[in-house]
């Protein structure tokens, strides 16, 4: 699962429902949160309370603050990359769920496609202005034709 901070309230609802759905099943959950820094990271305490022993939460900050300590407060600096997913050794047979801004979602979708993740293992929710939605729907149709 991936998320960025595009809309914290919607993301919280989306990911809380997914975590609750899967946490008692025989599945490992890796939640990867991408944000600018700790001042913007949404609902971390709630995520920690929801995730179980089979789950892990990974944080990627694009612009960590001086108070954000690598290895303690976050795990990777920069933007989400294919290398991060490979480093985490996540099975490409996993189901991937993500939501966030159009740019974030397009990046995640491209990375998963480049890695060879099957289209039926890629799940997302779109939240944003109608102009972004129209652009995203066009993007989605093109991706669906490919995959």
Residues 138, 130: Cα–Cα separation, whole Å: 12
- Is the dihedral angle over the CA atoms 131, 4, 21, 84 positive or is it negative? positive
State residue 110's pLDDT score: 85
pLDDT for residue 76: 96
Strand-pair partners of 61: 35, 77
Q: What is the pTM of this model?
A: 0.71
Flag residues of the chain having pLDDT under 50. 1-4, 6-10
Roughly what angle, to the nearest 10 degrees, separates helices 130-146 and 102-114?
10
Tell me the pLDDT tens digit for each residue of 71-86.
Answer: 999 999 999 999 999 9
User: Are residues 97 and 16 in contact, defined by beta-carbon separation less than 8 angstroms?
Assistant: no
Set out the domains of the chain in order of their start, with CATH numbers: 2-146 (3.40.50.80)
Question: What order of strands is seen across the sheet that includes strand 29-35?
Answer: 76-77, 55-61, 29-35, 2-3, 96-100, 122-126
């Amino acid at each position: 699962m991936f998320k960025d901070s595009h809309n914290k309230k919607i993301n919280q609802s989306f990911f809380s429902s997914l975590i609750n759905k899967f946490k008692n099943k025989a599945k490992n959950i890796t939640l990867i949160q991408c944000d600018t820094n700790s001042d913007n990271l949404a609902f971390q305490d709630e995520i920690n309370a929801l995730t179980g022993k089979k789950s892990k939460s990974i944080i990627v900050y694009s612009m960590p603050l001086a108070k954000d300590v690598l290895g303690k407060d976050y795990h990777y600096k920069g933007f989400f990359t294919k290398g991060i997913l490979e480093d985490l050794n996540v099975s490409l047979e996993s189901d991937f769920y993500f939501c966030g801004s159009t740019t974030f979602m397009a990046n995640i979708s491209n990375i998963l496609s480049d890695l060879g993740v099957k289209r039926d293992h890629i799940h997302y929710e779109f939240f944003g202005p109608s102009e972004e939605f129209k652009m995203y729907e066009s993007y989605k149709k093109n991706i669906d034709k490919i995959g």
